[in-house]
């Protein structure tokens, strides 16, 4: 995914997509800039910075600005923006969820988990909150609990590619590559599947030694030099004694 955390593919590395895979950035709940190009992200940050400075109490502007900052790799400024938003909207569930995403991107998982659980209605949870909770739990190594969250979210949104992808990535973290592949294949077959999801499938195939299949998938998504970098990364992982720990450490949300 080209950038660290949340948001999502380092060179050749799977990442939990905390800010979502939707390309629709018109709502606060699903604000996501991680699929844009580098110049587009920088332009978004500049535009939102100017607009947010003029209206710092605007919840939606703050959530979008924080999401754009995360996509640009500016995780601590993203947290700061969301702290300001929470200060103005302390009981707002959408603000709480976005704050949890910012905290997770900054590696503050315990705090992020508390925030997302406080922002989630236990009686009528929404799928995005459950997905975010699952991604945070995966980052904490609590994979069984993470998968329960994803499974619950899938009952609410069975056609969300992001949920199938995150479930697949969860299995990849524990070395269960056949299960990971099955869920990622479900994800890529769904409308809205992003390039990140297809690259994550390529990664899982490569880690099974299926290099030709992995290369073909990467080649459909990336320039030649990035394809080679990803293939080299996979081979390096396979030569390391504790390759699953390496994947876990490189995965971001």
Q: What are the structural domains of the chain?
A: 5-250 (1.25.40.10)
Residue-wise pLDDT for 151-175, tens only, equals: 999 999 999 999 999 999 999 999 9
108, 121 Cβ separation under 8 angstroms = no
pLDDT at 192: 85
Q: What is the rounded CA–CA span in Å between residue 197 and residue 194?
A: 5
Task: Annotate 31-79 with three-state secondary structure.
Answer: CCCCCCCHHHHHHHHHHHHHHHHHCCCCHHHHHHHHHHHHHCCCHHHHH
Please give the mean pLDDT across all residues of the chain.
Answer: 85
**CA gap 6, 19 in Å, rounded:** 7
Confidence label for 243 from pLDDT (cuts 50, 70 and 90)? low
Q: Any bridge partners for residue 10, and if so which?
A: 13
Whether residue 16 is predicted with pLDDT greater than 70 in this model: the reply is: no
Q: Work out the average pLDDT over 48-55.
A: 95
Q: How far from the centroid of its chain's Cα atoms is residue 51's Cα?
A: 25
Helix axes 143-156, 127-139, angle to 10 degrees: 170
Give me the percent of the chain exceeding a pLDDT of 70. Answer: 83
**pLDDT tens digit sequence for 190-239:** 998 989 899 999 999 999 999 999 999 999 999 999 999 999 999 988 88
pLDDT band at 122 (very low <50, low <70, confident <90, very high): confident
pLDDT band at 25 (very low <50, low <70, confident <90, very high): very low
Residue 26 pLDDT > 90: no
CA distance 71 to 242: 29
Measure CA of the first residue to CA of the last residue in the chain; give whole Å: 11
Residue 10 has pLDDT above 60, yes or no: no
Of residues 239 and 61, more confidently modeled: 61
pLDDT at residue 103, as a whole number? 96
Per-residue confidence (pLDDT) for residue 29, from 0 to 100: 55
Nearest to 143 by CA among 35, 237, 247, 3: 247
Task: Judge whether residue 17 has pLDDT over 60.
Answer: no
Whole-model pTM over 0.85: no
Residue 58 · residue 42 · CB < 8 Å = no
Tens digit of pLDDT for each residue in 71-121?
999 999 999 999 999 999 999 999 999 999 999 999 999 999 999 999 998
**Residue 18 vs residue 163, higher pLDDT:** 163
pLDDT of residue 148: 97
């Amino acid at each position: 995914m080209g950038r660290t955390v949340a948001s999502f593919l380092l060179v050749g590395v799977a990442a939990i997509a905390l800010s979502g895979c939707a390309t629709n950035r018109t709502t606060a709940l699903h604000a996501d800039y991680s699929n844009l190009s580098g110049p587009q992200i920088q332009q978004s940050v500049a535009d939102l910075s100017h607009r947010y400075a003029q209206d710092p109490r605007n919840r939606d502007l703050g959530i979008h600005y924080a999401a754009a900052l995360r996509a640009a790799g500016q995780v601590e400024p993203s947290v700061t923006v969301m702290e300001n938003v929470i200060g103005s909207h302390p009981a707002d569930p959408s603000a709480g969820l976005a704050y949890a995403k910012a905290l997770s991107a900054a590696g503050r998982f315990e705090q992020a988990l508390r925030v997302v659980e406080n922002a989630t209605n236990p009686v009528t949870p929404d799928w995005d909150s459950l997905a975010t909770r699952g991604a945070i739990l995966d980052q904490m190594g609590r994979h069984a609990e993470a998968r329960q969250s994803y499974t619950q979210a899938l009952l609410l949104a069975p056609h969300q590619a992001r949920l199938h992808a995150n479930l697949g990535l969860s299995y990849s973290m524990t070395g269960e590559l056949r299960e990971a592949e099955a869920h990622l294949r479900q994800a890529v077959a769904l409308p809205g599947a992003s390039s990140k999801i297809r690259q994550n499938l390529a990664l899982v195939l490569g880690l099974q030694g299926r290099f030709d299949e992995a290369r073909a998938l990467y080649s459909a998504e990336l320039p030649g030099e990035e394809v080679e970098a990803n293939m080299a990364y996979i081979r390096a992982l396979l030569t390391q004694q504790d390759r699953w720990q390496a994947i876990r450490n490189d995965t971001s949300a």
